[in-house]
Structure 1
Amino acid sequence: MDKNNLFQQFVSFSAAVYDVTHAIKKQTMPKHITPVQYNILEYIFVSPPVTASDICDCLHMSMPNISRELKKLQDKQYIEKRISPADRRKQTIHLTTEGQAIMQSTFERIEVLFQQRIGNASEEELRNMRQAIQLLQSKLFY
């Protein structure tokens, strides 16, 4: 197989994933938070527990910017910081009950859109999608 061609397909696939993700977020993101705040909440929701440094690395933002946004989210009572029992210098960031509810509701709306997109797929196509996702996760997104 031509690996250069495979790479070009990957680039095209990555762009499509970005476009679909952007469109879905635009439709489902809560209106009372900024896109940056949403990205932070989403990251905390799918990868708990996290530190401020983890968020900086993932979102490619500076620590001062992340700290400012975390403060705003904490003021809205969507997140809380906890001292690590293993290392008292380290703080982990968690969603509060309200933050968890916001993200759960958002992901329920995302699932509705996902179900609409795959609604016409046959059982065989659904199996193929599941296998393709598993293969990508094990070989490319590990």
Structure 2
Amino acid sequence: MDKNALFNQFVTFTASVHQVTNDLTQNIITDAITPVQYKILEYLKVSQPVTITEISDCHHMSLPNTSRELKKLQEKKFIEKISDKDDRRKYFVRLSEDGEQMMNEAFACIETRFQQLIHDVSDEDLEEIKHALNILQQKVFKLDDRL
């Protein structure tokens, strides 16, 4: 196995993922939030509850910038902060009811676009895609074993 060629294929794949993600989420963002705020809400939708540090690390943002964006989202009532029971200085962030509703609507629109992308894909190919995604999730995108 040529691991260098595999790496190059992986880089191409991840770039394609970013492009497709951009295409699927294009114009999903409402006037109520910025693209950065949308990305934070999207992350919360799939990972909540999380700490400010986790949001900051995931989005390559400084803690002050992350805190500022979270404050804006809290003022718009899209997120809630919950104190840690063991350490009152630490708190977690999750979507509020309004935030959940907005993200459910956004994901419904994204799913419609995704369904259009795979409309002509055979059932056999869909099974292969599902299997490939499972392998990538388990072997490459391991949540607990990140560098």
**TM-score band (shorter)?**
over 0.9
Whether 1:10 aligns to 2:10 is yes
Residues 30, 106 of structure 1: 8 Å contact kept: no
- For 1:107 and 1:31, locate their aligned partners in 2 and report how far apart those are by CA, in whole Å: 17
May I ask how many residue pairs the two structures share in their alignment? 142
List alignment gaps of at least 5 residues for structure 2. 143-147
Letter paired with 2:58: C
1:133 is aligned to: 133
Q: Secondary structure at the match of 2:50?
A: coil
Secondary structure at 2:32 match in 1: coil
Q: Which amino acid aligns with 2:43?
A: Y
1:103 equivalent to 2:103? Answer yes
SS of residue paired to 1:30: coil
- With 92-101 and 23-32 compared, the bigger mean Cα shift is at 23-32
Give the structure-1-normalised TM-score. Answer: 0.96
For the aligned residues, what is the CA RMSD? 1.0
* Structure ranking higher in helix proportion: 1
Q: Distance in 2 between matches of 1:80 and 1:139?
A: 33
Identity over aligned residues, as a percent?
A: 50
Q: Distance in 1 between matches of 2:87 and 2:67?
A: 20
- CA deviation string 1:27-64 (max 9, x = no partner): 32223210111011111111011111111111010111
Tell me the equivalent position of 1:59: 59
Query: Which residue in the other structure is 2:145 paired with?
Result: none
Alignment of 1:22-41 (within 5 A): 22-41=22-41
The gaps in structure 1 that reach 5 residues or longer are none
User: Residue 64 of structure 1 aligns to a residue in which SS?
Assistant: helix
Q: Which runs of 4+ in 1 moved over 4 A?
A: none
